Amino acid sequence: MKRIVTIQDFSCVGKCSLTSALPVISAAGVEACGIPTALLSNHTGFPTFYSRDLTEELTPIGAQLRRESIGFDAVYTGYIASVRQMELISDFIDEFRGANTLIFVDPVMGDNGRIYSGLSGDYPQHMKKLCQKADILAPNLTEACLLLGKEYNADIPYEEICRMLRELYELCGKYAFITGVKRDDMIGAVGFDGVSFNDCFMIHEDIVCAGTGDILSAAFIGAVMRGAQFSEALDTAVKFTYEAVRLTAADPDRRFYGVQFELALPYYIEQIGKIVENGRV
């Protein structure tokens, strides 16, 4: 069984970061290990929350894992709260990267054209350095603009998205994709492997719910670990995320807690089964 370690924060209540990444990766039939960068009582969309920073625990955790000779088939990073955390995670990648270890960076730092509050002005430049250690890079449209120093526009033409992906690919070297791309009444993702582009678009559901990017990234890396080609993994992840959003739309009283990915896991497991049946594992 393949093993992934994902490094991001953990919210006791609220479907985001580790709370959603771990069950989605597990549903793919991959061992899911988590290293929390912070512990939150609930996600930050609530009026109040309690948070304990775990920055200084990252190095001791990594050292202990090395003492036990524990290795990983993939390292997947999500939201990173500070430049200091980023530096320590960069060291972790250097320490645990083997010849076949896949490094997947979701450069979580903004949405809707704005960087998240609490992140420093130089944060995107530091994140760009971390992205250079990635094999796979998965920003949303806002984050892609921040990484490349481009002005954000929610309706960037498809041709410009492709140009941006070429630049992002140069950072990572195996595959880059941008999520949250709009096309007419559709929304989805576009990817590039250095040779060809692929995309997947679904009808845009007019609701807002937290955690869609987190489950998409987890679904993508889970599918890759089970043998999917990058383009196939992107298609699987986008469709799973759409199914979760569609089901969440039917329960407006619960949207605030995040996307109801649990209800869509049977669909994701079915798609993973098809990947395995096709003999790529």
Kindly report the pTM of this predicted structure: 0.96
pLDDT at site 279: 65
The H or E element that residue 51 is part of is strand 51-53
How confident is the model over 209-225, as a mean pLDDT?
95
**Domain locations along the chain:** 3-268
Indicate the class that CATH gives domain 3-268. alpha beta
Residue-wise pLDDT tens digits, 129-180: 999 999 999 999 999 999 999 999 999 999 999 999 999 999 998 999 999 9
Answer yes or no: are the C-beta atoms of 117 and 142 closer than 8 Å.
Answer: no
How confident is the model over 126-130, as a mean pLDDT?
97
Does the pLDDT of residue 281 top 50, yes or no? Answer: no
If 0-12 CB within 10 Å is exposed, 13-18 middle and 19+ buried, where does residue 107 land? buried
Tokens 């807690």, located at residue: 257
Answer yes or no: are the C-beta atoms of 143 and 108 closer than 8 Å.
Answer: yes
**Strand pairing partners for 197?**
192
The H or E element that residue 189 is part of is strand 186-192
Q: How many helices (H) and strands (E) does the chain have?
A: 9, 11
pLDDT at site 280: 47
The alpha helices in 68-180, defined as continuous H runs, are 83-96, 123-131, 141-148, 158-172
Read off the DSSP letter of residue 140. Answer: B
Residue-wise pLDDT tens digits, 225-252: 999 999 999 999 999 999 999 999 888 7
Percent of all residues in the chain with a pLDDT value above 70, rounded to a whole number: 98
Residue-wise pLDDT tens digits, 8-59: 999 999 899 999 999 999 999 999 999 999 999 988 888 899 999 999 999 9
pLDDT at site 264: 97
Instruction: Report the Cα–Cα distance between both ends of the chain, in Å, rounded.
Output: 10
What letter represents residue 227's amino acid? G
**b/e sequence 133-154, b meaning 16+ C-beta within 10 Å:** bbbbbbbbbbbbbbbeeeeeee
pLDDT at site 255: 61
